[in-house]
Amino acid sequence: MDPEVTRAVSEDGSTRAAAAVLHRIFAKAEPGIQYRLWNGSVGRVGSPDGSFTIVIRDPETFVRAFSTTDTKVLAEAFVENRIDVEGDLFHCLRIGNQLDDTHLGWRDRLAIWRDLRRVAT
């Protein structure tokens, strides 16, 4: 895991696992993302420009949203106020559109699956 991410989150195992998932998914996103998790821990992946922060309100939503490649799940969570964006929503959507072009190998998918199980506990 990126040391930049591990410094930004608390030492709670579920938030470390969540940070690892976000790093794998958004590692190639430009310019990067800032996030805040359900327990108030914050972090970043890459070099975000500070225009927005993704707020994930509970671990169940996190697992549901990032256990699929269907970005509609993220949109539904946003509409249901389980995920929020503080700041520039349109900039966040541009980053989200990059996910359509992200292809994770089997090692990344396996690691994400393992980490999502740690988030859920």
Query: What CATH number should be reported for the domain holding residue 39?
Result: 3.30.1050
> 92: Cβ–Cβ under 8 A, 6 or more apart, which residues?
33, 52, 54, 85
At residue 11, the pLDDT reads: 55
- With respect to residue 120, please indicate whether it lies within any of the assigned structural domains: no
- With respect to residue 26, please indicate whether it lies within any of the assigned structural domains: yes
Summarize pLDDT for 63-103 with one digit per residue, the tens: 999 998 888 898 899 999 999 999 999 999 999 888 877 88
**How many structural domains does the chain have?**
1
Average pLDDT of span 52-56: 97
Its domain, for residue 25, covers 3-113
Q: Enter the pTM of the model.
A: 0.86
pLDDT greater than 90 at residue 118: yes
- With respect to residue 27, please indicate whether it lies within any of the assigned structural domains: yes
Summarize pLDDT for 100-113 with one digit per residue, the tens: 778 899 999 999 99
- With respect to residue 20, please indicate whether it lies within any of the assigned structural domains: yes
* Radius of gyration, alpha carbons of the chain: 13
Does the bond joining 48 to the residue before it have cis omega, within 30 degrees of 0?
no
At residue 51, the pLDDT reads: 96
